[in-house]
Structure 1
Amino acid sequence: MQQNAAKRAIVEDAYRRSRGPVAFLDESYQVPDPVIAPAETFYIFTAVIVAFDQMDELRDGLAEIAESTWWHTTKALLEKDGRTKTREMLEFLAEGHETCIIAFQVPVDGQDHDGETARRACYRGLAIELAAGREDAWAPVDLLVLEERNQNNFRTKDRINHKELIAEKQIPQPTRLLQTSPAVERLLWLPDLVSSAYRRTLTHTDTTRTLFDVVRDRVHFVEPVE
């Protein structure tokens, strides 16, 4: 609990120092297996852009639908009640003013067994577009909040990917990457929802394949950047 409180303080401080909306990022992927080849490989990286004055309403609405302070879309979709709640959350997102952006790579290179090359390309594509903004779509974003990965070496890779973009002057110097947990910032549920919904268009033929249709009109697609 103390650790989460400290992490929340870091997130709140980052918000105070931000000038524009905040982008929340998460991914979904299916990468090559050296033993058993999957039918299709892909890497999906999603950003959902949220204005500060909408954050509390979104947090409250998501918790109300989930009837919990914990959520993971992949697990929720295994049960009927979870599938219903997933659709309700996507409908709740679609009713708002938030913009969703997806960078995806299909297929993933056969030698990219951990998906890190695809992840880097998708992140670069997203970060460049987020920082630049797009007229009549979203204002430039200077804070990217990414769901942190469990292993420190992977978190380090994400930091390096971001620093490379700044060093190459692909994104402005003030653009920051903050890695944290959905237990700290519930708004990370949003890119998890959208990534999972889009994943289903690639992997499923059942009724859950239509989940992405709920938010399709709110989504912009961008190209990965090598």
Structure 2
Amino acid sequence: MAEAYRRTKGPVAFLDESYQTHNPDVNPAQTFYVFTAVVVRLPDMDELRDGLRQIAGSDYWHSTEALQDSDGPAAMQDMLEFLAEGSEPCVIAHRVPIDADDHDGEAARRACYRGVAIELAGGGDGRWDPVDLLVLEERNQDNFRNKDRRNHSELVAEQRIPRNTRLLPTSPKFEHLLWLPDLVSSAYRRSLTHRDKTSRLFSIIKSRVHFVDSME
């Protein structure tokens, strides 16, 4: 991680997702895929990590799990407010509904990743500088990791993003800044799926979010 940060010239984007795919308990119209990036300047990384760990009171955080705990929603609110106090832009690609034949959501994931990566690499018209390092939460299975690498390589081959734009999969246990897109993705998901207090968490960060089109 440290070597990757030394080689980057601009800010770093941290990416995570949330989704609801087809299953017997979900109406097809309620399916979705959300890919979120939070863009962080290198000089701000340590302060963000320290603040997140202080709020969590731990070196471990997962928003979905936290929301099942009585103290989790309050901690999540504090983290989102902490993020909202800074200058980090958030970028979301949202596909809804997922195509009926996309049973595992992989086609939606590809489209959302493409949309986010293209916007990040191109720069955000003054909102963020071009990003050449995308840090993605690594998936558990080799075939899924290979798909993520292939999705990125296709963008480079198509000249949709510069050749020097790198994708770095890793675990949140090694890079706690991956908590940030997990927080934003989970908050946005709750705004879609719930009608309780947690559905309002996204309003804390909404003004900092830029929505982009998913790309085929």
TM-score normalised by L of structure 2: 0.98
Q: Offset of 1:113 from its aligned partner?
A: 1.0
SS in 2 for 1:80: coil
Counterpart CA distance in 1 for 2:35 and 2:108 is 10
> Corresponding residue for 1:99?
89
Q: Which residue of 2 aligns with 1:30?
A: 20
Aligned AA (1:159): R
The reply on whether 1:46 has 2:43 as its aligned counterpart is no
- How much does 1:215 deviate? 0.1
Q: Of 34, 50, 67, which aligns to 1:77?
A: 67
Displacement after TM superposition at 1:80 (Å): 2.2
**Is 1:220 aligned to 2:196, yes or no?**
no
Cα deviation code 1:12-40 (max 9, x no counterpart): 1110100000000000000112xx04131
TM-score by length of 1: 0.94
Q: Letter of the aligned partner of 2:154 in structure 1?
A: E
**Greater CA deviation, 36-45 or 208-217?**
36-45
Q: Which runs of 5+ in 2 are unaligned?
A: none
CA positional deviation for 1:111: 1.3
Q: Show the counterpart of 2:48.
A: 58
Question: 2:114 maps to which residue?
Answer: 124
| One-letter amino acid of the counterpart of residue 62, structure 2 | H
Residue matched to 1:152:
142
Q: 2:125 & 2:31 partners in 1: Cα distance?
A: 33
Q: Report if the CA contact (8 A) 1:130-1:140 is conserved.
A: yes
RMSD: 0.6
Alignment check: 8 A CA contact 1:23 1:47 kept: yes
Deviation at 1:110, TM superposition (A): 1.2
For residues 82-118 of structure 1, the C-alpha deviation after alignment (integer angstroms, 9 at most, x for no partner) is: 1100000000000001010000101001111110000
- What is the CA–CA distance in structure 1 between the aligned matches of 2:174 and 2:25, rounded to whole Å? 36
**Alpha-carbon distance in 1 for matches of 2:159, 2:104:** 27
Q: Which runs of 4+ in 1 moved over 4 A?
A: none
For the 8 Å contact 1:32–1:109, the answer to whether it is kept is: no
Report the alpha carbon displacement of residue 148 of structure 1 after superposing the two structures with TM. 0.2
The correspondence of residues 187-226 of structure 1 with structure 2, limited to 5 A, is: 187-226=177-216
SS in 2 for 1:160: helix
Spell out, residue by residue over 1:135-172, the C-alpha distance to the aligned partner (whole angstroms, 9 max, x if none). 22111000000000000110010000000000000000
Which residue type is aligned with residue 159 of structure 2?
Answer: K
Which consecutive unaligned segments of at least 5 residues does structure 1 have? 1-10
In 2, are the aligned partners of 1:32 and 1:111 still within 8 Å (CA)? no
Q: Percent identity?
A: 64
Letter in 2 for 1:150: N
1:182 to 152, 168, 172: 172
Aligned residues: 214
Please name the residue that 1:6 is paired with.
Answer: none
Distance across 1 between alignment mates of 2:89 and 2:195 = 26
What is the SS of the residue equivalent to 1:69?
A: coil
